[in-house]
Amino acid sequence: MDEIKKESKIKRDLDKFERWVLNPIGDIINSEKTHFPAFILIAVAIDMLSNMRYSSSLTFWSLKPKLSKKYINFIKTYFPPGYYKISSNLYHDFRCEILHSFSLRKFDLGQHDKCRHLQKTKDKRKKIYLKSSEMYKDLIGAYEKYKSELIGDNRKDEVVAEYMKGAGRKEWTHTE
């Protein structure tokens, strides 16, 4: 009985993550005016997933392993191979820059079909181009891969439950 309750709690938490985090990104991704906020939400979603995946009840709040290591490991493990070589840049020059200063260093963001996702721009800046629709699709794929690994693994269920509980937060709350 407890196993069924635990599984349904994890399923509810993952359903909420999909409904409140992943689905809204999909809703805004196609507008030229909102692709920058979509990238912010993608960075946050990767942050959340990497903490769920690599935290434990004993280490989450002490940030060990370091957030950067969790983020990079999540990308290397769950995203397609094209992200592997730039995983460190995705943490330092994408995630940190976009979340803390609304700027970017080594990346150019957009959604134009003429630009190729994960390829260097053709101008002299040679930035790596990130296409919002492609990155969102890859985020969904990474989430699904993690979710399939998670379901039924009691150790990981406990980590997710601990993460979702947060600092004294008993349930996710959100007004629909």
Each residue's pLDDT tens digit, 5-62: 555 677 788 888 899 899 999 889 877 678 788 999 999 999 989 988 887 654 444 4
Each residue's pLDDT tens digit, 63-88: 556 888 999 999 999 999 999 999 99
Q: What is the residue extent of each domain of the chain? A: 2-165
pLDDT, residue 6, reads 54
Residue 149 and residue 142 in contact, taking contact as beta carbons nearer than 8 Å? no
- 167: CB partners within 8 A, 6+ apart: 61
Each residue's pLDDT tens digit, 82-137: 999 999 999 999 999 998 988 888 898 887 666 789 998 888 888 899 999 999 99
pLDDT band at 156 (very low <50, low <70, confident <90, very high): low
